Structure 1
Amino acid sequence: MTDFKAIQQQFIAHLKDPDNVAFDYGIEDRRLKIYRELFFNNILGFLSSGFPVLASIYQEQEWLRLARQFFASHRCRSPYFTDISLEFVEYLSSEHQATDYDPPFLSELAHYEWLELSISIKKCSEPLVVWEQNNDDFPTLIQFSPLATLVSYHFPVHRISVDFQPHLAEEPVYLVVYRNNKDDVNFSLINQVSAHLLNVIQQNAHIGMSELLAQMQSVLPQINPAQLNLSVQNIVEQMLSKEILLPTKCD
């Protein structure tokens, strides 16, 4: 049994890294090639479909190289196919050794594309109660949607494409990636003040407008209270209309 397990481990190592790990157990290479291509192409397909923008900015051979390095060296913790994208993001951020072919925004763009996928398949235990814009009653309490994520990047990842590839980091870019009640995944570009406001709401399970205003005034004392109150009200209304924020009714 020990020998059989050793053969299995050698077979796995060969499939993951055939250029550096041989498999000399009497199986002709033609048959081994079928398994090598089957496993690698499966992983490659998940990466190419999960990270279409990232894949598009690489030359084909360099994208294959990156996928091969991930397949050969990363030890995945999850057995689920849907987690391959997350494993790739973690590999790029903590294990991958950058080369001249890799863009400086590699890990951030990968994280952004993974986040879009993650939000699209995320399950919600209860139906979302959204704000009806025609309703004159403003919510007593508000909350951050469980189908939304607030993130910041050094690169404008939402704009990156084959034709736009920044080389230097810029001012922090704040984004909210979210899914609405129709299951449409969108993003919203926001400023630092809006990001702080959303972070405050996110840190509180349910928060009222008076408490939210008080917290915002404490960090922005230089702004006229009346002006700040109006700005906060406008931001909250915009976020409610996009379903980034959700209403919570008192019992």
Structure 2
Amino acid sequence: MTITTRFNSTRIKLTLLASATLMLAACSDNDNTPPPEMPEPPAVVTKNFEVTITNLTANQPLSPVATLQHNDDVQLWMAGEMASVALEKLAEGGDTSDLSELQGVTGTVSGSGAVGPGATDTISMEIPEARVANLAVITMLVNTNDAFTGVQGIDLTDLAIDESMSYRTMAYDAGTEANSEAKGTMPGPADGGEGFNASREGDVDRVHIHPGVISMDDGLMDSVLSASHRFDNPVAMITITRTK
């Protein structure tokens, strides 16, 4: 009887061991099952543009040009309305950093440097198709107190490859600083003075067409400008081309 009991006990142990082995094998097979393949995300489609700006003035360098992609409801300036602080910084000092941070501005690309009289600068942009909307181009006339030029609300959505749009732009006065032309009040090479000044001491605190500079040669004795710094409209030519 004792021998039979041991034999049965051994068979039971072998049976349990075999069952456990089968269960482990089954678990191992489940762990090795490859995960389902995920579909690849669609490729991002982009549109490429070139913005070319030509300085048409005799002696008014332009600050590094900023191109700003923006939504339909964005308006960087409006004639007859008070300039924002962001626009004031651009018009007085050529600083576009605050403009690029405005709500509704979705992207900014700046030029390589100042654009001298008669010179041209070209800015290349690659924009995801889903974000292509409107474009603004803006720059300061640096031998002035607060003059700027540019264009805004350019609709890029339907511009075909190799198609271009051109604009001849006028000079605007931001109305944020008096056009004194006095020493120390202009950031350009004719003076090397200050740029943005938070105090608003303009003749009128609203954006309007710039009346032009007067200069010392015209009888404004405190001016550091000469007749060469005078300008007529248009002051710049801007061309936008879709390249891809």
- Work out whether the TM-score is over 0.5: no
Name which one, 1 or 2, has greater alpha-carbon Rg: 2
Q: Structure 1 length normalisation: TM-score? A: 0.25
Higher strand share: 2
- Larger RCO (CA under 8 A, 6+ residues apart): 2
Q: Which has the higher helix share?
A: 1
